[in-house]
Structure 1
């Protein structure tokens, strides 16, 4: 049952007003947001601070999707700032970031 609810949330089953069709879908959407915020908080706490002001971020939109190239002086940031390394020859090295 839980997988069906989360699958429906993933596929954005909602009416035109942006409200979930069922209370179970609404509760599942809140739970996903709550977990993501908790993981973000823990990631920042483990890194002893937020994103460094010296961090240089350049965003490029590619045909395959959004890829983010960045130089990180401190290895702290949001998951949204991670780079897509699937097509990079040094993917293992970038994974250490």
Structure 2
């Protein structure tokens, strides 16, 4: 019997990669362990290991994840709704 299961993770990854290539976006590794400026948050949110910042030409982010001041703002969907990023630092929130 052959499996008809569809690998949605692979399809999603391919779709994201194609969308990123189309506009010249790239993933930027981060060493930050927390999201949120220390003076704003008593308990900054931890960043899952391997989470990265999405760098998109023409979009700049004023903060790094551990200095971000937009932690309570809604994220921004990019790449035609494929990826959700923080407006303040660009960390992937998907």
TM (norm. structure 1) is: 0.33
Taking CA–CA contacts closer than 8 Å with sequence separation of 6 or more, which of the two structures ends up with the larger relative contact order?
2
Q: Which has the larger radius of gyration?
A: 1
